[in-house]
Amino acid sequence: MTHSQANNQPQAAAALLSGQGLWCERDDRVLFSQLDFAWDSGQIVRISGPNGAGKSSLIRILLGLSASYEGELFFNGQPMAKGRYEFRDQLLYLGHQVGIKASLTPEENLRWLCPDAAKEAIYSALEQVGLRGFEDVLSQGLSAGQQRRVALARLYLQNKAIWILDEPFTAIDKDGVAQLEARIIEHAQNGGLVILTTHHQLAVDVLELELGKKVEPRGDFDD
């Protein structure tokens, strides 16, 4: 399946992150097939589709956490198997579970998630997400939304080009959503690539990748 598309390769190879002929099946149900995309810096990509359409499956495939797919992934023009180290070096991922430890304070959590960050940077990032004053509270005392905000503080702390965010707006209040949206747009304007799944409509034009349609989805995203 993948070799038939080999003639497309040079075109897609220029993109930061691209996929060709992706096919994924779950429990004998084909989630998507012949999925092509090529995403570049400065773009916001919104993966949409109804529940169970395979949004999270696609994200896990992009991350390299799932091997149950066919097709090719490219990072910076080289096959993912070769570019994996650089890809992960540039990657910031927030999933459904954000990796916040209940028995650690927000500051301690961020210190492990962002080992390079200075203490002052962690404090100012926590201030950005509205958690100033909670640095020394154990995370088990925080609400679900506040725990997610701890993880979102990484968006202000880490200098990573590729953001992959799975439902980032979950459990975040109205002001927080607006602020997060602004941060996402800012990152794209600064030359980053943001890939997210959400049912929330963003204020700017984004690239849509719609999953779960009867017709074979074609993601020809030429600017």
Under the binding rule (CB under 8 A), the answer on residue 116 touching another protein is yes
Name the minimum Å distance from CB 97 to another protein.
3
Choose which of 25, 40, 108, 127 interacts with another protein (CB under 8 A). 108
Under the binding rule (CB under 8 A), the answer on residue 98 touching another protein is yes
The stretch near another protein (CB under 8 A) out of 11-19, 45-53, 59-67, 194-202 is 59-67
Nearer to another protein, 22 or 206 (CB): 22
Burial of 59 (0-12, 13-18, 19+ CB in 10 A): buried
* Angle between helix 144-152 and 106-113 (nearest 10): 40
Judged by CB under 8 A, the number of residues near another protein is 31
Under the binding rule (CB under 8 A), the answer on residue 135 touching another protein is no
Beta strands 69-75 and 44-48: pairing type?
unpaired
Give, for 209, the enclosing helix (H) or strand (E): strand 207-210
Burial of 210 (0-12, 13-18, 19+ CB in 10 A): middle
The stretch near another protein (CB under 8 A) out of 47-55, 90-98, 178-186, 215-223 is 90-98
Nearer to another protein, 36 or 93 (CB): 93
Under the binding rule (CB under 8 A), the answer on residue 88 touching another protein is yes
Angstrom distance (rounded) from CA 201 to CA 84: 31
Under the binding rule (CB under 8 A), the answer on residue 68 touching another protein is yes
Under the binding rule (CB under 8 A), the answer on residue 95 touching another protein is yes
- For residues 135 and 123, the answer to whether their CB atoms sit within 8 Å is yes
Choose which of 75, 93, 123, 163 interacts with another protein (CB under 8 A). 93
Residues 6+ apart with CB under 8 A from 76: 16, 83, 86
Q: Which of 6, 66, 68 is nearest to 36 (CA)?
A: 6
Q: What does the binding site for another protein look like in residue numbers (CB under 8 A)?
A: 60, 63-68, 84-86, 88-89, 91, 93, 95-104, 108, 111-113, 115-116, 138
